[in-house]
Structure 1
């Protein structure tokens, strides 16, 4: 696992540019394939309540290298990504849907002795270096799988216009995990609950538990 903080945002920008062509609409996440051997998407252990409120996470993505598992939103596509854990892409909604909302998850084990505060600060510095107009609109504390973390909402101008990013940072066993949920400004409020649900679904397999 080699994912330094300097790699995070070029990958996020790449998703903004290329997500529109990543998958065909109308199907759920395919079996994971590519350069992360053993990564996979499977049915979750229990069936969700179809009548329940909130976003439905209908599949579970498991990363064999980190042991991280995440729920995949209904109808989304999950792909292993070089130098990251997984990319999730929303389905297209017509020919005019040129900005595919997406979720990129990274794991950085190269940052020296990371703490939550030091990593969040370094990440914010890197984001602003690459997108100088970035502005943090909201932030707060979060607990996921018993790990204290930080969430932030940033705005920035990317290749496809003004966007918002919902980001969650977790530091576990010397590895900094970051979830970046990106959407254009005009759909962000609708997709934020999806990003939040995926973040709260994070867990680690028993083999990698502290």
Structure 2
């Protein structure tokens, strides 16, 4: 669970500081200290997910983790709203225990994370769960929600993030994207 928290944080930091050389350097320095992401990239189930109108997609590998990004149209006021999908082994944990341990890791490794909330979600018959929280990244207050869907011992994690001031606008869209996940098996 530690890996997924650090990977999510680095991903968000990298997106939030795109174009700011000093911040990108800080992200690289943090990433250099991370352990190898041994429990990441383990999912073999093909899945589909809806892409909001006007958004673009991008596959990236950063710090040894494969990401599938959905990127909102960028504006001067809102350049960083995004969704990403990653996979991690659940290490034989139940969904609830996996979420609890992941949230404990968030609290440990992201000390300024606040306002946690949790819930359940169903997507095409798949029982999942979510947790959300707020963080302050370099003076930008952001809200993140991670949706977790288990499949064959693998957590398919959809993490969506935006600035706190846009959270109410985007949360229904984030929920709709998460509910659209469908495994092709």
Query: What is the TM-score with the length of structure 2 in the denominator?
Result: 0.75
Counterpart for residue 103 of structure 1: 83
Matched residue, 1:54: none
Q: Select which of 2, 26, 40 maps to 1:6.
A: 2
Runs of 4+ in 1 over 6 A off after TM superposition: none
From the superposition, tell whether residues 84 and 136 of structure 1 become closer, same or farther in structure 2 (CA, over 3 Å). Answer: farther
Richer in helix (by share): 2
**Secondary structure at the counterpart of residue 165 of structure 2:** coil
Aligned with 1:84 (options 55, 66, 85): 66
3-state DSSP of counterpart to 1:81 = strand
* Unaligned segments of structure 2, at least 5 residues: 20-42
* Post-superposition CA distance 1:90-110 (Å, at most 9, x none): 11113x44x41111211112x
Is the 8 Å Cα contact of residues 55 and 71 (structure 2) preserved in structure 1? Answer: yes
| Counterpart for residue 12 of structure 2 | 16
Query: How far did residue 84 of structure 1 move?
Result: 3.3
Matched, 1:121 2:100: yes
Which of 166, 170, 191 does residue 149 from structure 2 map onto?
Answer: 170
Q: CA deviation at 1:176?
A: 1.0
The number of equivalent residue pairs is 158
- Unaligned stretches of 5+ in structure 1? 23-63
Deviation string, structure 1 residues 60-110 (Cα, Å, up to 9, x no partner): xxxx9430111111111211232234111111113x44x41111211112x
What is the aligned counterpart of 1:93 among 75, 79, 87?
75
- Following the alignment from structure 1 to structure 2, what is the Cα–Cα distance between the partners of residues 9 and 158? 15
